[in-house]
Structure formats: structure tokens, C-alpha cells
Amino acid sequence: MQEFIPLIVACSLVLAGCNYSLEKKNSPAAAADLNAPAGQVVLNFDLMEKQVFAPHCFECHSLARRNISPNLETFDNVKSNLSRIESAVSTDFMPLDRPAVPAPQKQLLAQWIALGAPQ
């Protein structure tokens, strides 16, 4: 029996690792409110920042990175460039030479803007 103990420990560690990655994949943060039933998604600037601007735009439009105008890190900046942002994303002009913003995120952005881009 004694000699099986390390084997059992190793197996448990592997299983624990599996569980961990599954949990990470299914965590609310990773699924990001997108999987919430309609009506439960709070369309606000925070969501846009997490879903659209940070992953797809900050590389170029943030102070700490390439700092290309317009800066998209604050609500006020985004709000005052809304129509340019809307057309740049809907036409895939932005994010420039990077992969287009995925359809669900594009839709979120369009809905948020249609609501009057609430903070």
C-alpha cells in the first residue's frame, strides 16, 4: 500500500489541476456577463471597457501604451468620440491591422450606444 501513496497524490494533483482550469473557464469573469440571460446584462461603460476597449483598443488608444488619439480610457473621452468610435468599429476600420472586434462585442457596443451610452 505504502508504495501507492505517491501515485495517489500525483493523480489527485492532476485532477485538482483539471478542476482548477475548468472552474477558471466557467468563471463569471471569463464568461463576462455575455452569457447572462437577456435583461441581466448591465450595459454601462464598465462593461464596454472590459469587453471592447481594453482587449481591442488599449494597445494603441491608452496613455501607457501607444497613446494614439482618441484616448479611450475614460468615459468622457469615449462619450465625446462616440460617433467616430461607432463607425470605426462597425466598418472594421478599427482595430486597424488587428483582428476585427467579434460580433457579440460589436453588438454590445452598438446597443450601449443606442441606449445613449450610459455611464
In sequence order, which residues have a C-beta less than 8 Å from that of residue 106 and are 6 or more positions away? 89, 90, 100
- Candidate residues 43, 81, 90, 102; the one interacting with ligand HEC per rule CB under 6 A: 81
Cβ distance to ligand HEC smaller for residue 22 or 63: 63
Distances from the Cα of 99 to the Cαs of 45, 75, 93, in angstroms?
A: 22, 24, 10
Quote the cell numbers at residue 95.
482595430
Q: How far is the CB of 101 from ligand HEC (least distance, A)?
A: 5
* CB 117 within 8 Å of CB 82: yes
Rounded to the nearest whole angstrom, what is the least distance from the CB of residue 61 to ligand HEC in the complex?
5
Q: Which of 44, 54, 60, 102 binds ligand HEC (CB under 6 A)?
A: 60
Q: Contacting ligand HEC (CB under 6 A), which of 9, 63, 84, 114?
A: 84
Place of cell 505517491: 6
CB of 33 to ligand HEC, least distance (A): 18
* Sole binder of ligand HEC in the list 14, 42, 68, 114 (CB under 6 A): 68
What are 35's three cell numbers? 452569457
Give the span between the Cα atoms of 45 and 48, in whole angstroms: 5
By CB under 6 A, tell whether 95 contacts ligand HEC.
yes
